[in-house]
Amino acid sequence: MSTPRHRTAPEHTHPDDVPVLTALAALADPVRLTLVRELAGSPEWSRACGTFDVPVGKAALSHHFTVLRAAGLVEQRDEGPRRVNRLRRAEFDARFPGLLELVLRTEPSA
Amino acid sequence: MSTPRHRTAPEHTHPDDVPVLTALAALADPVRLTLVRELAGSPEWSRACGTFDVPVGKAALSHHFTVLRAAGLVEQRDEGPRRVNRLRRAEFDARFPGLLELVLRTEPSA
């Protein structure tokens, strides 16, 4: 029996396989929208999961990242103890042209 | 005291006053997406609320129309016993350019 890994690698869904309802639902949440906005303003792979300014606990944050991965919005990889992120901007744009631009340019509360 | 009306006129929100999260959440539902799609394919004011092919009861349908009005997606008016609908396509497009086109052209389950 092999030694268990510290944690399993995150599962991803490519944007091409994401239904439009899944994409809309992933973006229709204030915490996830903040994560997407902060990722859009950061270099790829520069942000670990704990570095986002969102008012939720660790379990909730993990759930939000799962939803974002399943919607093809975020890619994650483990670098030692850190799980780092990038926004899948080009692939998501190819699947849903204009959607990310729209949510990024509109004020969240406006 | 005046005679009570049969029912109160529906309240509307103009798309200009709709937060992007509200718009996304309104569209991120299979029943509401079907309503929007069917309205997009029908002449304005031609569809009464009971004419849509959605698998929900009257109370749920009424709730879905309330959400669509609050998101600036649908306008309703009473014509005798019928409440008829139109998609606020131009106004919604002006507020959220490309969003309706995106959800209308993407297959719901694809």
Strand, helix or coil at A81? coil
Complex-level ipTM: 0.87
DSSP string, B9-78: PPP---GGG--HHHHHHHHSSHHHHHHHHHHHTS-TT-EEGGGS--S--HHHHHHHHHHHHHTT-EEEEE
What integer pLDDT is reported at residue A87 of this predicted model? 98
> What is the distance between the alpha carbons of residues A70 and A3, in angstroms, rounded to a whole number?
28
Distance from CA of B94 to the nearest CA of A (A): 12
Task: Name the closest residue on chain A to residue B99, using Cα atoms.
Answer: A99
> What is the distance between the alpha carbons of residues A4 and B14, in angstroms, rounded to a whole number?
55
What integer pLDDT is reported at residue B4 of this predicted model? 45
CB B96 within 8 A of CB B88: no
Predicted model pTM: 0.89
* Cβ-proximal residues to A39 (8 Å cutoff; 6+ apart), any chain: A47, A74, A85, A86, A87
Check B97 against A102: CB less than 8 A apart.
Answer: yes
CB A14 within 8 A of CB A72: yes
Lowest mean pLDDT among A34-38, A105-109, B72-76: A105-109
Residue B97 with chain A: CB contacts under 8 Å: 98, 102
CB-CB: which of A19, A20, A108 is closest to B20?
A: A108
Mean pLDDT for chain B overall: 92
B2-47: per-residue pLDDT in tens? 444 457 889 999 999 999 999 999 999 999 999 999 999 999 999 9
A24-79: per-residue pLDDT in tens? 999 999 999 999 999 999 999 999 999 999 999 999 999 999 999 999 999 999 99
Helices of type H across A16-57: 20-27, 30-40
Q: Mind listing the domains of chain A with CATH numbers?
A: 15-105 (1.10.10.10)
Check A24 against B19: CB less than 8 A apart.
Answer: no
CB B15 within 8 A of CB B94: yes
> What is the distance between the alpha carbons of residues B12 and B86, in angstroms, rounded to a whole number?
12
Residue B109 with chain A: CB contacts under 8 Å: 19
A17-30: per-residue pLDDT in tens? 999 999 999 999 99
Q: Which tokens go with A14?
A: 């490519």
